[in-house]
Amino acid sequence: MKRAWPALLCGTCLMLAGFLMTFAARGASLNAEGGAVGDVVEQRPEYDAPEYYGSSLVEVIVDGLPRDIYQARGRRYVEALRGEEYALRVRNPFPVRVAVSLSVDGLNTIDGRRTSRWDASKWVIEPYQTVTISGWQVSRERARRFYFTTERDSYASKMGRASDLGVITAVFFRERGAPVPLTRSRPSTDPQPEPRSHEEKSGRAESPSRSGVEGSSRAQKGVVIPSPAPADDYAATGIGRSVHHDVRWMHLDLDPRPAAEVTIRYEYRDALVRLGVLPRPYPEPDPLRRRERARGFEEPRYAPEP
């Protein structure tokens, strides 16, 4: 028996980028009966989702550029940048519409809840299209930006759900019974978030202190940070400034079997070094020892024989 799933349509993105962006909720009866989104109507069996190792389906975007993805320890890692806002660019590689359960730090990016993949509210993407999710959806017109921060300052910690920090997960569900297009449509170009000015970065109440930013710069210059690090030296995601983001509801009929799953771990550079994801930096030789080895002249030499 088919079931229709309610979803939200992003009107702003539809007008500006020409693609359909929606997210599906957990059951048609919620929308028809006026129930609160988030109540579980019916449990469905969980299926194993295949990991997708083709072109990247999920990218972490900072100042309009994707962060490098490192393959290590059987997982994907990206380097977090302390205090920086980021967005998630999600691509649909399939010839049918998909609904994507997207969580950050174990919390759904739409309603901030912790659920199963199937019961989660979902972002829906047209065939071969791409959407950019820049923050937590807090109303039908507003979202609040993702930014890298400490565990203590994270949105998950404020919600009392700090058990899965440092992880981004996307699970793709195909729309059921949708016609398959004969030709591949051209991917749309998403508007990227504008780089923030220095005043915007320093003016946010949730931003980490300047000493934290300086500590990140020292790590990038090759200074080894002692292990283990304090808890607040680990990366997590905060709920930042408010941005305009329109959405509305629609219905979808989804295949309960996941089509793909992508998981990305993010950490600051010093943590990636301790995990062995990035090479350990070594300090430069002691200048005083180098000076002690200095000599005035070299021994006499001749041209070498060929």
pTM confidence score? 0.65
Other CB atoms within 10 A of residue 207 CB: 22
223-271 residue pLDDT tens: 444 445 555 689 999 999 999 888 767 778 999 999 999 999 999 999 9
First to last CA, the chain: 84
Span 107-163, pLDDT tens digits:
999 999 999 999 999 998 999 999 999 999 999 889 999 999 999 999 999 999 988
Q: pLDDT at position 277, please?
A: 95
Rounded distance between C-alpha atoms, residue 165 and residue 233, angstroms: 12
* Token output for 44: 């469905």
3 state SS of 233: helix
